[in-house]
Amino acid sequence: MSDESRRRWREAYGRSPLRESEFTTMSGLPLAPLYGPEGAVDPDAPDGEGAGDGVPERIGWPGQYPYTRGVHASMYRSRLWTMRMFAGYGTALETNRRFHELLAAGGGGLSTAFDMPTLMGLDSDDVMALGEVGRCGVAIDTIEDMADLYAGIDLEKVTTSMTINAPAAVIMAMFIANAEEHGAHRSRLGGTLQNDILKEYQAQKEWVFPPRQSVRLVADTIEFATAEMPRWNSVSISGYHIREAGSTAVQELAFTLANGFAYVEAARRRGVDVDDFAPRLSFFFNAHIDFFEEIAKYRAARRIWARWMRERYGARDPRSTMMRFHTQTAGVSLTAQQPEVNIARTAIEALAGVLGGTQSLHTNSMDEALALPTEKAARIALRTQQVIAHETGVTDVVDPLGGSWFLEELTDRMEDEAEKLFAHIDRAGGGSMLEGAFHLIEEGWYQGAIADSAYDFEKRINEGSRVVVSVNRYPEGNEDDQLELLRISSEEEKLQTKRVQQVRADRDSAAVEDALGNLRRVAATETNLMPSLLDTVRTRATVGEIMNTLAEVLGRYRETPFI
């Protein structure tokens, strides 16, 4: 790289607020912020002096295009990643208590898990919700539940992530309206809406409307947030669920970024300039157990995103080319056998996320193969991140693995394989990644590719060629089961059912009907739905009522069975 590149890195590093530390090893050996082919890079050396020559362009400098070494010049030296723990179960009041416990334990942000009825756009008293209310996340039916969920939390200061997809626009409207009813202003709200509906058809299978109509809602939220909410990430493009469904790391990388490109195209079709919305797109990746492959995946992802955004989509703002991402350790790597071993798995996976340059991180709890995590298990998971951050020294050097012959080669190979998959998707869409996604979902290509990978992985475990400790090797101790598990009682489901019925009884029914009627009319046009959704949720209309109203216009999706 040129002297100019090195100079720009020094300037950016000098502008970063550094954590107070001497930056030495435990033995007292001083650590430079960055290392290159010739050794330590001195940010205080005059221009033209200091190590760092010979850095290949594809690797580059931290905080500079193509961001292989990270999106920030000083990375964790100046600021640690956000320790964003995922939580949600039972009623909103129960989850609110867990939120306060996590914040008190040192968590830096909130990440909300919703129960299956909410994810599917159903109310808690719907016959299809019976037995599922509050089981795998928190039940949210109306804005009143949203008020309970975030009670006592300053939503202008604590960033909030919400893992919701089909009803994402509805839940976003409830979040905004509740915050405003409690004195916050939408322009000061910071957080992330998952809102990645394409991967639902490809992997997770939680949809309501057909793909094209669903992407219309995603584009509505992007357009609205671009205009009204400068701190809000309106889409978190998620590879996590693609990987959990059984994909390979390469497929996770390629399908996730391809979906990101599809949303870019959808927003541009609205006439929104790429540099107005792309800086607020974020990503969500899995941290699986193959340590170096995961780190290479993150490095390749940043490089690909930077290049495509600049060269294909004409981004001019450097922020549009910076991939920021959240990481969660792999749920599918957890075992019900000897669950305490999951602490070790999670620590290794979390370390891969950190060494790969993640901006925020959730660590799974040891008991999640058996139940929702207990308070103790969730605290251990958070402490795992804190040990990595404060005891290991891996945060004291920017991209400490950069330049590794093995890692750089693996990064290149990941990128090359992803590009082959991009080419297939692009051809299928006639030069459009969005149309390619629609076509290949309808064809069942994504679903088949992920299913084949899942089958191959499981076959190797069953044959013993892929070792999983305590499952197909080292079973001693499997008979010991002393974990106390979190139990969600049926009483909580009854409480939530009564809650939504009480809200219906107390609200102005005529106002609800008027709002739903207006929503129906707007949905039949090309007008952005977010303003109408905000008006509707303020009347205390339920998630189910709103989703049913939209389905009358947008339709419901039924997947074609694929063999």
- Rounded to an integer, the average pLDDT of 85-96 is 90
Label residue 19 by pLDDT band (50, 70, 90). Answer: confident
The CATH code of the domain at 75-463 is: 3.20.20.240
**Residues with Cβ < 8 Å from 481, sequence gap 6 or more?**
none
Checking if the pLDDT of 1 tops 60, the result is no
**pLDDT tens by residue, 497-537:** 999 999 999 999 999 999 999 999 999 999 999 999 999 99
Between CA 507 and CA 514, with CA 511 as vertex, the angle to 5 degrees is: 145
- Above pLDDT 70, what percent of the chain? 98
Most confident of 40-49, 81-90, 187-196: 187-196
Q: How close are the terminal C-alpha atoms of the chain, in Å?
A: 51
Detail the DSSP E strand segments found in 319-461: 325-329, 360-362
- Rounded to an integer, the average pLDDT of 76-94 is 91
Label residue 47 by pLDDT band (50, 70, 90). Answer: low
Q: Which helix (H) or strand (E) element contains residue 200?
A: none
- Rounded to an integer, the average pLDDT of 9-17 is 89
How far is residue 71 from each of residues 34, 76, 306, 558, measured CA to CA in Å?
14, 11, 10, 40
- Rounded to an integer, the average pLDDT of 30-47 is 86
Q: Is the peptide bond before 475 cis (omega within 30 degrees of 0)?
A: no
Detail the DSSP E strand segments found in 72-130: 82-87, 109-113
Q: For the chain, give the mean pLDDT.
A: 94
Question: How many whole angstroms separate alpha carbon 558 and alpha carbon 52?
Answer: 56
Checking if the pLDDT of 318 tops 60, the result is yes
Count Cα atoms within 13 angstroms, Cβ side, for 59.
22
**Contact indicator for 313, 264 with CB cutoff of 8 Å:** yes
Question: How many whole angstroms separate alpha carbon 549 and alpha carbon 556?
Answer: 11
Question: How many whole angstroms separate alpha carbon 97 and alpha carbon 21?
Answer: 34
Checking if the pLDDT of 496 tops 80, the result is yes
Question: How many whole angstroms separate alpha carbon 167 and alpha carbon 208?
Answer: 8
**Contact indicator for 102, 382 with CB cutoff of 8 Å:** yes
pLDDT at 452: 97
Checking if the pLDDT of 20 tops 80, the result is no
Q: Using the Cα atoms of residue 351, residue 353, residue 359 and residue 365 in order, give the sign of their dihedral.
A: negative
Question: How many whole angstroms separate alpha carbon 345 and alpha carbon 347?
Answer: 5
3-state secondary structure of 543: helix
Higher pLDDT, 22 or 27: 27
CA nearest 253: which of 60, 415, 412, 439?
415
**pLDDT tens by residue, 186-198:** 999 999 999 999 9
Q: Which helix (H) or strand (E) element contains residue 303?
A: helix 291-311
- pTM of the complete model: 0.95
Label residue 42 by pLDDT band (50, 70, 90). Answer: confident
Label residue 49 by pLDDT band (50, 70, 90). Answer: low
Amino acid identity of residue 561, one-letter, is P
Label residue 78 by pLDDT band (50, 70, 90). Answer: very high
Residue with the two structure tokens 């723990």? 85
pLDDT at 372: 85
Q: Which helix (H) or strand (E) element contains residue 415?
A: helix 405-428
Checking if the pLDDT of 131 tops 70, the result is yes
Label residue 487 by pLDDT band (50, 70, 90). Answer: confident
pLDDT at 44: 80
- Choice among 44-48, 165-169, 252-256, 276-280 with the minimum mean pLDDT: 44-48
Detail the DSSP E strand segments found in 204-307: 232-233, 235-238, 281-287
Label residue 219 by pLDDT band (50, 70, 90). Answer: very high
DSSP state of 373: P
pLDDT at 52: 59
Question: How many whole angstroms separate alpha carbon 131 and alpha carbon 313?
Answer: 46
Give DSSP secondary structure letters for 354-372. HHTT-SEEE---TTTTTSS
Checking if the pLDDT of 213 tops 80, the result is yes
- Rounded to an integer, the average pLDDT of 275-291 is 97
DSSP state of 87: E
How many Cβ atoms sit within 10 Å of the Cβ of residue 200? Answer: 22
Higher pLDDT, 44 or 221: 221
**pLDDT tens by residue, 380-439:** 999 999 999 999 999 999 999 999 999 999 999 999 999 999 999 999 999 999 999 999
How far is residue 542 from each of residues 102, 147, 502, 515, measured CA to CA in Å?
29, 14, 12, 12
Label residue 231 by pLDDT band (50, 70, 90). Answer: very high
Label residue 278 by pLDDT band (50, 70, 90). Answer: very high
Name the token pair of 476. 């001693």
pLDDT at 485: 85
DSSP state of 193: E
Residue ranges per structural domain of the chain: 75-463
- Above pLDDT 90, what percent of the chain? 86
pLDDT at 43: 84
The crossing angle, in degrees rounded to 10, of helices 445-463 and 433-443 is 60
